[in-house]
Each structure stands twice: as C-alpha cells, then as structure tokens.
Amino acid sequence: MAKIKIVAMVCAAVFSVTAIAAEEAKDPKPVAVRKLGKDDAAAFVRLTVARSARFDELTIFRRVLREKQAEFQEALSGLEKKFGLDPKKSYSYEGTTHKLFELTAAAKKGAEPTKKEVKSFKDAKSAEPLATAMVARKLVENQITVLAQLSREKEQEAALVDAKIHKMFKLDDNGTYSFNTADSTIYRTGTKAKAGVKKSAK
C-alpha cells in the first residue's frame, strides 16, 4: 500500500544542521600554539585527514539530498496537477480495490488513521498512472530519509574526531587552527564567531 506523506520534518532536520564550517573572526596573524614531535605530528595528520574525509562524504550526501528534495517536490506537484492530490495531505492507494483514500491521523496515539475514499478506478490498468506515480514518490521519500540519516551520522563522526583533536592536543574549542608540516607546528588562525566544527585544520 503506497502512502503520500510530506517529509518536511526530515527536510528541516537536514537543512537546520549548524555544526559545519562555522563562521570565524580572523586573528591578525597566525599564532604558533604547539610544536609536535614526529609521532604526535603523524597522529594529528591522521586525525585531520579522517575528519576531512567525513566532511567530504557529508558534502556529497547533502548535495544528493538537495537534489532528491527537489525531485520530491516535483513528484508532489505532479500528483497535484495530474490527480488533484493535496501535497499537505496523506493518501493511500489500495491495489486490491483500486481505490484511493485520504488519510486523517487518529487522535489516539498508535491508532490507525481514518480513511475516506476520494477516487475509485474500474481496474488496475486505469489506476496504473496514479499507482506508478505514488510508488516513485515513495521511493524518493525513502531516499531522503536515508540521506538525512547518513548526513547526521557523518556530522556526528566529524564532531567526535574534532573533539578528539582538541582534547589530545589541548586546543581551545573556540579557536580555529592550521598545521604546518614543514615545522610540525599547530597555528591558531582565528576565533569562532559561533559554535561549530571547522571544516579544515591542516
């Protein structure tokens, strides 16, 4: 049974992510804060590379997510124009009866939604355009859900690596940093204007 449900909550959760590439106030000149030995320098590079990899993956997930959200809106628009379905409402098509129902959420939590018949088709062939469009829309909705979850996971992973870097090398959480491989020194390059995870620390 295919259902139409707006995924505004999922989309909002994705587009409200704030832990990426925080704004920063640049210091007049980078300040050397810690010179690392060979082993520590290698560990610092490994961690920053690991964090960068997670941000790269997150960038890809978010780009594809935006594309899928646009595709989802097109699917809703198509269902509205071709079949008169309100994008703000939920529907269910029953293949056995060839009927389309509008669903209203039950007042009691966990209870089945109320169904109201809004369209009826004489057979599966006549209902095929609607059924196909609803299945396609549902597929995109599922993809959005998965991409949103993957984005949150990558954001959390990046934040954990960032916290480990700051703790291991005793760096100020409010600072932004760079690493000079030539002299194995960590430099403070700025101060975060608002909380977040800086995308790069090389």
Confidence of residue 20 (pLDDT cuts 50, 70, 90): very low
The tokens for 197 are 């995870």
Cα angle for residues 123, 128, 129 (degrees, 5° grid): 135
Q: What is the pLDDT of residue 108?
A: 81
Q: What mean pLDDT value characterizes the chain?
A: 83
Q: What is the pLDDT of residue 14?
A: 30
Give the three-state DSSP class for 184. coil
What radius of gyration, in Å, describes the C-alpha atoms of the chain?
25
Is the pLDDT at 66 greater than 60, yes or no? yes
- For the stretch 129-174, pLDDT in tens is 999 999 999 999 999 999 999 999 999 999 999 899 999 999 988 8
Contact (Cβ atoms closer than 8 angstroms) between residue 190 and residue 25: yes
Is the pLDDT at 21 greater than 90, yes or no? no
What whole-number percentage of the chain has pLDDT above 70?
81
Q: What letter would DSSP give residue 25?
A: E
Confidence of residue 109 (pLDDT cuts 50, 70, 90): confident
- The label of the residue with tokens 């300040």 reads 31
Positive or negative, the CA dihedral 164, 168, 172, 178 is negative
The tokens for 108 are 């009691």
Q: What is the pLDDT of residue 111?
A: 85
Query: Any residues with CB less than 8 A from the CB of 143 and at least 6 apart, and which?
Result: 68
Cα–Cα distance measured from residue 179 to residue 172, given in angstroms and rounded to the nearest whole number: 15
Report which residue type is found at 62: R
Query: Any residues with CB less than 8 A from the CB of 160 and at least 6 apart, and which?
Result: none
Q: What letter would DSSP give residue 8?
A: H
**H or E element that contains 70:** helix 38-83
The model's pTM: 0.69
47 exposure class (CB count in 10 Å sphere: 0-12, 13-18, 19+): middle
